[in-house]
């Protein structure tokens, strides 16, 4: 009986509304610091298409960095990111949660709807739009980027912008991704990696570059939060985050052969 109730569409809709309200409360009661001058400068110079990327474990924090980018880059304010989510019930639920933050959903994954999702994302990017993808979703392995993000970047030519956020008050679920649940009235940091373009021939190298960048921004954000929890001011960790944001983009090997672009994997559920 209880299991049937928790799967009822009305229950899921109400739960998604409440969870979205909670995340909005967390975002508004957290004092945020942004480390990403290099990324912001790049977006101001070329506010065209962009592929936002963050690990699945940071879904609850995922919308906040985009809000910060929009405030600092006026050309981004009319844009609404299109977020790739799975067609599974969990993906639909998470899509309803994050829709509160002016995000639109693209439904698809490797197993179902992948080819159509790739075509949709390419159309959006070719119109200077924004898409968001969690490369290790929907089922992991944790912090292992699947091929989709590299393929999408290589085919579209749009820059990838990996990012992460962390707060001083949070806990982790015992899920496959060790999802972070932030708590209200915290201090938080947003770490932006400089956006980089993946050459058409380097989809696999691009995938690896995104994976490395995402892990680095997560670890850098977590180091700042840990320093604050330990009673330090986090100045050294913040300086490291700012230095990361000014780093030169990754280099890619020269073209040897063109790679294909099968359906992507990676989403937010």
Task: Provide the pLDDT for residue 32.
Answer: 97
Task: Provide the pLDDT for residue 259.
Answer: 46
Task: Provide the pLDDT for residue 84.
Answer: 85
| Residue range 140-155, pLDDT digits in tens | 899 999 998 999 999 9
What one-character DSSP code corresponds to residue 196? B
Q: Which fold has domain 31-245?
A: Glycerol-3-phosphate (1)-acyltransferase (3.40.1130)
Dump strand ranges (E) for the chain. Answer: 31-35, 50-53, 82-85, 104-107, 130-133, 160-167, 170-172, 180-182, 187-192
Task: Provide the pLDDT for residue 2.
Answer: 45
Q: What sign has the CA pseudo-torsion 34, 35, 38, 43?
A: negative
Q: Are strands 160-167 and 170-172 parallel, antiparallel or unpaired?
A: unpaired
What one-character DSSP code corresponds to residue 113? B
Task: Provide the pLDDT for residue 6.
Answer: 54
pTM metric for this prediction: 0.89
Q: From first to last of its 269 residues, what are the pLDDT tens digits of the chain?
A: 545 545 666 777 888 889 999 999 999 999 999 999 999 999 999 999 999 999 999 999 999 999 999 999 999 999 999 988 876 666 677 778 877 888 888 877 644 556 788 889 999 999 999 999 999 978 889 999 999 899 999 999 999 999 999 999 999 999 999 999 999 999 999 999 999 999 999 999 999 999 999 999 999 999 999 999 999 999 999 999 999 988 888 999 888 644 444 545 555 43
Task: Provide the pLDDT for residue 92.
Answer: 74
- Which 3 state secondary structure label does DSSP give 87? coil
Q: How far apart are CA 219 and CA 221, in angstroms?
A: 6
Q: Which residues pair with 104 in a beta bridge?
A: 82
Where are the chain's structural domains? Answer: 31-245
Q: How far apart are CA 50 and CA 44, in angstroms?
A: 12
């Amino acid at each position: 009986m209880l299991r049937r109730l928790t799967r009822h569409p009305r229950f899921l809709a109400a739960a998604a509304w409440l969870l979205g309200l909670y995340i909005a409360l967390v975002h508004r009661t957290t004092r945020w610091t942004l480390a990403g001058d290099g990324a912001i400068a790049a977006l101001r110079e070329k506010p065209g298409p962009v592929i936002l990327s963050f690990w699945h474990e940071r879904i609850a924090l995922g919308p906040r960095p985009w809000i910060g980018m929009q405030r600092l880059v006026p050309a981004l304010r009319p844009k609404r990111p299109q977020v790739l989510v799975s067609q599974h019930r969990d993906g639909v639920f998470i899509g309803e949660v994050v829709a509160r933050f002016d995000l639109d959903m693209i439904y698809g994954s490797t197993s179902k709807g992948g080819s159509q999702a790739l075509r949709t994302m390419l159309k959006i990017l070719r119109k200077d739009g924004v898409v968001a993808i969690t490369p290790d979703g929907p089922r992991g392995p944790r912090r292992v980027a699947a091929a989709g993000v590299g393929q999408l970047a290589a085919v579209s030519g749009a820059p990838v912008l990996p990012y992460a956020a962390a707060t001083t008050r949070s806990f982790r679920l015992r899920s496959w991704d060790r999802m972070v649940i932030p708590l209200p009235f915290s201090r938080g940091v947003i770490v932006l990696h400089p956006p980089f373009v993946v050459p058409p021939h380097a989809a696999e190298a691009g995938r690896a570059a995104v994976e490395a960048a995402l892990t680095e921004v997560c670890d850098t954000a977590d180091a700042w939060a840990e320093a604050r929890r330990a009673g330090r001011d986090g100045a050294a960790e913040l300086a490291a985050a700012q230095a990361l944001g000014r780093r030169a983009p990754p280099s890619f090997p020269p073209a040897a052969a063109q790679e294909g672009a099968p359906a992507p994997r990676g989403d937010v559920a």
